[in-house]
Amino acid sequence: MAQKRSFSRRDSFQSDTYRNKATGPRESSTGDPSQVPAPVYSGPILAGAHHLNIDNSKFTSIQTQYVTVNNPSDVGGGPLEGLENQVLVCPSPSPHFTGREDILGQLSDIFSPPVVTLYSPKEEELAKFVRNHVKWYGSLIIINGKSANDLTEDVAKNLKEPESLVVDTILVIENMDPTLRISDYLPPWMNVPALITGTRMEITEGEYGRISFHLPDDTNQMGREQLKNSLKEILQVKQDIVTLVAAGGTGKTQAVLKFIARNVLRFTNVWFFDASSEAMLVENFKELGRALKTSGDVATIRRFLTTMKRNWICIFDNADDPKLLQVLLGKYLPVGRHGGIIVTSRLREAMQLASSPHCNVLFGDLDEGSAIKLLLKHAHKETSGDNLKLAGKIVNALECQALAVCTAGAYIHAKSTCSLDTYYLDFKEKSKKTLKHKMTGESYPWTVYNAFMLSFEQLSGPAKLLLQICSCLHPTAIPVEMFQNAFNYGFTEDYFHETEKEIMGRGKMNEIINWLGKENDLLEIIDELGTFSLVSYNVDHEHPTLSHHAVIHSCAYETISLRDNIVPAVTLILSSGTPVGHSEHDYALRRKLLIHVSHISMDDLEHLPMEGQTRVARIFYESGYWTQAEKLQKKVLSSRTELVGEHHPSTLTSMINLAVIYKARGKTEQAEKLQETVLFLQKELLGEHHPDTLTSMNYLAGTYQARGKTEQAEKLQETVLSLQKELLGEHHPNTLVSMSDLALTYQARKKTEQAEKLQETVLSLQKKLLGDHHPHTLTSMNNLASTYKARGKTEQAEKLQETVLSLRKELLGEYHPNTLISMNNLALTYKARGKTEQAEKLQETVLSLQKELLGEHHHDTLSSMNNLAATYQARGKAEQAEELLETVLSLRKELLGEHHPHTLISMGNLASTYHDLGKTEQAENLQKMVLSLHKEILGEHHPDTLTSMNILAWMYQAHGKSMQAEKLHDEVLSLQKEQVGEHPSTQLP
């Protein structure tokens, strides 16, 4: 039932510059005391202070301390190497941050250590109680607070430096004089729970008395025991998980960053995790793991943090994915007894993560006062009475929207001739014009557009132009490298055929390249836009990107007066900035460009020059958008045939590319015809022994195999291999690719022993010539494992696939497509070996990653959904399998059509699941449809057709229709006899 990816040569797109290159071997895939006086709570515990003074009391923290990680059980020990403080660094808050003092106060109160006072008129009884009962698991530091001299001497003696504190220290200040200010004596890094004792009743009043107890008489042993338990409950170190839940754009993250900036000395370590996606969160954990020199898996790093007995804090920002939120607590948050956690989210469900109700921090939009302060900060204006009044008018006109307020302030500051009063006058005047644009809806208030326009008009010409260009693309993650490619070595004269010289947008494209790429510095232009808060520059390792708010995106687009001119020019820049190479870097960049080519209309894409259409078609093809790819590539082929003739090399390249798309779409007959034409012409023009001819022969053989013509595929591949050995030598990379292809055909023809021998030869040679870690070597190991599995050597297959997966994770990363293929193949082997629980977990991981990285509609994602459904069915989860298979079938019908082989596989799998669920009529009807379509498309002798007949016969038998089952079985046997030797029978057990 499971469908696996099995292809040895990646059918790759070719350009005129990179034509007919070998692309490597194909991948085979796939407590409350009752007698003790209740504690008196008069407010937050010493809330809001940095230095534990009486007026504004709280402790600050231990300065940064380091702990060893070699032994996770000893994480309270000596210093780390400091690398952990160089990763996941908490960003600084905006210098213009204002307001939110209530939020900052809440956070400060939550993360302040508890302070408890204990009163008794008997000094000796207090001292005896403390020494006998306040020593649960940590260490006591006892300071005499009877006088200023005593405090000074004891602090100097016992609190020399942060490192003098051991894990779970409790500070006891005995006989405290309530007239003294503790903060005048304690070092600023002191950040531990404190117990203050005294013999004067004033100790239980005011700031000191927020949590206070009276020591019961020594005859009241039960009362003392309950007091001991209460103190233990309050003073022992606990972990707080805080959630900040609010709508997007309300400043949750900035509030957290401001809190950290104000209180950085409180924490031994601060780590900032990007929780916007599970993939990003996993990568953050791996980055921290590398710095800690510990295992890279999330579970190990999380376990390390939970056992790290320090006052660290982890921030999980933008946890807005509902699915990730469901697993965040159990899988990622380092829940334990130490440290602290802050989670920001737009989802109200995130409140459930909070360790207690008071740890839920809620807030809404800016209030008028904060908005006024924000505006004046951005405008660099003083808070005089007149300014406050003018600023109030502006922010009210802007409805206190943070983005609009920031932009207005930036404009006032940037324009020397503008003041608060002139800005307001300009604002009111220009609003009449800006209302003409379609910005009156709820999503795009006119006030935002007006504020945008006032800033936009202060930009330099190049900055305006770049922002307009970006507005023609998708607002998210525009690769800067795409612009750099286009500006430095984009389409020159040679890329345009004579008939394309006057193509729409070409002149504007050249103007843009000259202005932005030659006469000005692109990064300086980006910096200018950033100054006005119009774009964000995101550093994503190899591919820095630009993003901007959807409102800004729409506003900028409205500023384009001649869209018929600039949109074609932007389309040309996009296509010319698309790389044509085969490196993983190039592949990753093309993946990032998908959302941008999808944002442009197909009509605009079809007006690109032929080379531009080819490059965009390749983006669509590699992302599984085959319908769009086919449409563009057919147009390219038609144009080239008409302009340069059928025999021109560029025309042959277009034929090859279109054939590759046909094959991907299941149009194998059309692919075969086109490839046969290409091969015929190449033999005539280049000769039978030319490398391009041999490559085309190999492509054609792959199509023969896809069409069930395995004997023809085998013969053609044997011819190719023989010629390559003769012309190139046995050790040439192309020869090894052909050997690998032939081995897969042997496997398809059930010649598994021959396949195994050939693959072992290929693997041995590749290890020798390329090394154990080369991508082609890993592909060969994967293919050999597939053959081992086919031959029943599942233990060997499992070991080899685990090796491949481990190496690919190390070399390519967990999210690389080939790594996901290896995970999928290993899961299938687990399933074959009866390890269905392991298979299910691995397949669910693969599917989750592919949905995020490739999208739900990608063919690899659909194959993984199909495979996971098979595992669900094997584990008796038929209803889950049914739901998943119905989704797959619906998407494949929509994307591929009813006649595509993958659609037929999904129909057959769903029919079997219906049968398992007792839906006999639905099962039979669907299987009949599968059989009918197989006969129509492949013919009645094709192995897949015979398999469909056997499955239907088996269903008839299981449903009590013995005569129909027998008749169908006889028909299968008759057809197999006619085709014996070429198409071995494939029957269900």
Residue 260 and residue 342: Cα distance in Å, rounded?
11
Q: Are 742 and 724 spatial neighbours (Cβ–Cβ below 8 Å)?
A: no
pLDDT at 333 over 90: yes
Structure tokens at 832: 């074959």
pLDDT at 703 over 50: yes
Strand partners, 212: 117
Q: Where are the beta strands (DSSP E) in 258-324?
A: 270-274, 313-317
Count the Cβ atoms, other than its own, within 10 Å of residue 86. Answer: 10
CA nearest 333: which of 237, 238, 241?
Answer: 241
Strands 6-7 and 27-28: antiparallel
Mean pLDDT of 322-327: 87
- Tens of pLDDT, residues 920-949: 888 888 888 888 888 887 787 777 888 888
- Which pLDDT value is given to residue 273? 94
> In sequence order, which residues have a C-beta less than 8 Å from that of residue 432 and are 6 or more positions away?
none
- Tens of pLDDT, residues 961-977: 888 888 888 887 877 77
Least confident of 66-75, 324-333, 673-682, 753-762: 66-75
Mean pLDDT of 286-291: 88
- Which pLDDT value is given to residue 227? 86
How far is residue 194 from each of residues 47, 191, 247, measured CA to CA in Å?
14, 9, 38
Dihedral angle sign, alpha carbons of residues 690, 692, 696, 701? positive
Structure tokens at 833: 């070996």
- Which pLDDT value is given to residue 364? 64
pLDDT at 8 over 80: no
pLDDT at 35 over 50: no
DSSP-derived secondary structure letter, 478: E
- Tens of pLDDT, residues 344-393: 987 778 888 998 888 988 776 677 888 888 888 888 888 888 899 989 88
Q: Per-residue confidence at 399, pLDDT binned at 50, 70, 90?
A: low
Q: Per-residue confidence at 297, pLDDT binned at 50, 70, 90?
A: confident
Q: Are 807 and 771 spatial neighbours (Cβ–Cβ below 8 Å)?
A: no
pLDDT at 291 over 70: yes
Return the HEC string of 226-242. HHHHHHHHHHCCCCEEE
Q: Per-residue confidence at 729, pLDDT binned at 50, 70, 90?
A: confident
**Cα dihedral 245, 251, 256, 260 in deg (nearest 10):** -170
Q: List alpha helices for 812-835, DSSP H.
A: 817-832
Structure tokens at 966: 């027998």
Least confident of 24-33, 322-331, 446-455, 565-574: 24-33
> In sequence order, which residues have a C-beta less than 8 Å from that of residue 563 and are 6 or more positions away?
none
Q: Per-residue confidence at 271, pLDDT binned at 50, 70, 90?
A: very high
pLDDT at 247 over 70: no
- Burial code of 901-922, b = ≥16 C-beta within 10 A, e = fewer? bbbbbbbbbbbbbbbeeebeee
Only one residue has tokens 């957290």, namely 256
Q: Per-residue confidence at 270, pLDDT binned at 50, 70, 90?
A: very high
How far is residue 127 from each of residues 122, 201, 230, 861, measured CA to CA in Å?
9, 17, 18, 68
CA nearest 592: which of 484, 490, 468, 476?
Answer: 476
Phi then psi for residue 734, to 5 deg, are -65, -35
Q: Per-residue confidence at 7, pLDDT binned at 50, 70, 90?
A: very low
- Which pLDDT value is given to residue 83? 60
Residue 494 and residue 307: Cα distance in Å, rounded?
64
- Tens of pLDDT, residues 582-636: 777 887 888 889 889 988 888 888 888 888 899 999 988 877 788 889 999 999 9
- Which pLDDT value is given to residue 827? 92
- Tens of pLDDT, residues 890-923: 888 887 778 777 888 888 888 888 888 888 888 8
pLDDT at 409 over 90: no
- 382 vs 453, which has greater pLDDT? 382
Instruction: Compute and round to an integer the Cα radius of gyration of the chain.
Output: 35
- Which pLDDT value is given to residue 136? 61
Count the Cβ atoms, other than its own, within 10 Å of residue 74. Answer: 13
Residue 97 and residue 378: Cα distance in Å, rounded?
9
Tell me if residue 479 falls in helix, strand or coil.
strand
Least confident of 52-56, 240-244, 754-758: 52-56
- Tens of pLDDT, residues 99-110: 788 888 889 888
pLDDT at 430 over 50: no
- The pLDDT > 90 percentage for the chain reads 11
- Which pLDDT value is given to residue 56? 29
Could you tell me how many residues make up the chain? Answer: 989
> In sequence order, which residues have a C-beta less than 8 Å from that of residue 914 and are 6 or more positions away?
882, 920, 922, 923, 926
CA 117 to chain CA centroid, Å, is 49
pLDDT at 642 over 60: yes
- Burial code of 188-221, b = ≥16 C-beta within 10 A, e = fewer? ebbbbbbbbbbbeeebbbebbbbbbbbbbeeeee
> In sequence order, which residues have a C-beta less than 8 Å from that of residue 757 and are 6 or more positions away?
none
The per-residue pLDDT of the chain, averaged, comes to 78
Structure tokens at 984: 């071995």
- Tens of pLDDT, residues 495-522: 777 666 667 777 788 888 888 877 778 8
- Which pLDDT value is given to residue 744? 86
- Structural domains of the chain in order of their starting residue, each with its CATH number: 72-82+93-235 (3.40.50), 368-456 (no CATH)
- Which pLDDT value is given to residue 799? 93
- Tens of pLDDT, residues 796-847: 999 999 999 998 888 777 777 778 888 999 999 999 889 999 999 999 999 9
